[in-house]
């Protein structure tokens, strides 16, 4: 574990503390160990498809066939039974169970559109980029005079507004401990980290390739190893 501030004060604040409100923000790094295809990473989905079409809110009008084929294929991949929650998902669900069983609050915010947090037992993950297994917007189109309709997954595209913003900000505004895992928490998500810090929360990044962007504590480990270490340090929630 590396700390931006070379002091034992923050570690003492973490160790065996009973935080009233804990918020964990997860990204693609949490689901990577389950083998799920990613969008941005090398050999990810965008390496084989044009993101300006398939991930754009205007993509259907730009190239209907490519847009529909992409999302039908991706949805089919995520619906397969090949992907299961990994240890990181399970540890987070267990941490939530322990935290809420002692009267605390635990909120999970994720940019992931899969359902692996749900399958692991997390209650009501705040999916700000949507849910690929749910139906989203419906498109109509005409082929040879016949009207067809097609529903794409309920995911956020370029040009869309992120989902459940109120739930996300409510969680961040009252949190005592904010943990970013498997995500850079940069760009738009960076505002979430800053908001947590302004409200007095201890902020932690778990990332094997850390960003070192305004976090109090940095744990240079995989999602599974880092969550195990941190949850044990905070409340002995090792799975």
H/E stretch holding 69: helix 64-79
Summarize pLDDT for 73-87 with one digit per residue, the tens: 888 888 877 789 999
DSSP 101: H
Backbone angles phi, psi at 30, to 5 degrees: -75, -40
Mean pLDDT of the chain: 86
Contacts of 110 (CB under 8 A, 6+ apart): 25, 26, 27, 30, 117, 125, 126, 127, 128, 129
pLDDT in the model for residue 63: 94
Confidence of residue 173 (pLDDT cuts 50, 70, 90): very high
Query: How many CA atoms within 13 Å lie on the side-chain side of 196?
Result: 28
pLDDT in the model for residue 51: 86
Residue range 137-148: mean pLDDT, rounded: 94
Confidence of residue 32 (pLDDT cuts 50, 70, 90): confident
Residue range 148-152: mean pLDDT, rounded: 95
Helix%, strand%, coil% for the chain, nearest 5 = 40, 25, 35
pLDDT in the model for residue 48: 76
Q: Is the pLDDT of residue 189 over 80?
A: no
pLDDT in the model for residue 15: 65
pLDDT in the model for residue 6: 38
pTM: 0.89
**CA-based nearest residue to 44, from 56, 52, 33, 32:** 32
> Which residue ranges form the domains of the chain, and what is each CATH number?
1-34+85-128+164-239 (3.40.50.1220), 37-82+131-161 (3.30.1600.10)
pLDDT in the model for residue 165: 93
The yes-or-no answer on residue 129 being catalytic is yes
Query: Which is catalytic among the residues 49, 89, 117, 129?
Result: 129
Summarize pLDDT for 113-138 with one digit per residue, the tens: 999 999 999 999 999 999 999 999 99
């Amino acid at each position: 574990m590396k700390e931006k501030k070379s002091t034992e004060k923050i570690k003492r604040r973490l160790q065996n503390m009973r935080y009233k409100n804990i918020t964990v923000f997860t990204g693609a790094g949490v689901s990577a160990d389950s083998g799920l295809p990613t969008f941005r990473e090398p050999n990810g989905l965008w390496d084989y498809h044009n993101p300006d079409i398939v991930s754009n809110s205007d993509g259907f009008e730009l190239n209907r066939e490519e847009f529909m084929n992409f999302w039908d294929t991706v949805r089919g991949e995520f619906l397969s039974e090949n992907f299961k929650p990994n240890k990181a998902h399970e540890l987070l669900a267990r941490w939530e169970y322990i935290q809420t069983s002692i009267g605390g609050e635990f909120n999970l915010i994720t940019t992931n559109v899969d359902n692996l947090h749900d399958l692991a037992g997390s209650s009501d993950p705040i999916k700000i980029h949507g849910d690929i297994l749910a139906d989203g917007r419906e498109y109509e189109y005409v082929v040879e005079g016949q009207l067809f309709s097609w529903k794409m997954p309920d995911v956020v595209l370029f040009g869309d507004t992120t989902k459940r913003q109120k739930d996300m900000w409510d969680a961040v505004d009252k949190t005592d401990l904010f943990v970013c895992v498997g995500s850079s928490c940069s760009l738009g998500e960076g505002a979430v980290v800053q908001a947590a810090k302004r409200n007095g929360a201890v902020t932690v990044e778990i990332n094997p390739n850390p960003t070192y962007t305004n976090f109090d504590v940095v744990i240079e480990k995989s999602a599974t190893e880092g969550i195990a270490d941190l949850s044990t340090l905070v409340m002995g929630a090792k799975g």
